[in-house]
Amino acid sequence: MRLQTDIAIDRPASEVFEVVSDMSLNTTWQKGMQSCVWTSAPPIAVGSTYDQVAGFGGKEILSSFRVTEFEPGRHIRIISTKSTFPLDITRAVTPTTNESCVVRAIVAGEPGGLMKLFNPLTKLLVRRSVKADYQRLKELLESP
């Protein structure tokens, strides 16, 4: 499974990147995200780690992640190191003007366990969930 979503946000790229690269903020804009806690000391860099608890499809998903790519202000890639739903997530922020940008999210992965049996449905649900999450991010960041 691989999906990509792009969304224009009317906020400076630097501000948007601060939010999408700080995984502890995922709970503020990603539905089903119960907790995200950095397990390594700041600042965020290649090798930084965090743990998260999320709910998806009625199941609790416990995951650990590691930052594998990091370009401050522009790009972060995280890969799960332990999870029942392994993921590889890239978030990139590209300025379009001084006050706006485009966020590109690429999510790749395959469900494990029983979720694998429902793979076509799982893909559809993940696609909807990711699009809705980035729409929530847009609304959160553009609200006064």
User: Which residues touch 66 (CB under 8 Å, ≥6 apart)?
Assistant: 47, 48, 49, 78, 79, 81
The tally of domains found in the chain comes to 1
Residue range(s) defining the domain that contains residue 44: 2-142
- Helix 13-21 vs helix 119-142: crossing angle, to nearest 10: 130
Q: How far is CA 14 from the centre of its chain?
A: 17
CATH of residue 74: 3.30.530.20
Query: Is a pLDDT exceeding 90 seen at residue 107?
Result: yes
Polymer length in residues for the chain: 144
Tens of pLDDT, residue by residue over 74-97, are 999 999 999 988 899 999 999 999
pTM of the model: 0.90
Report pLDDT digits (tens) over 14-52: 999 999 999 999 999 999 999 999 999 999 999 999 999
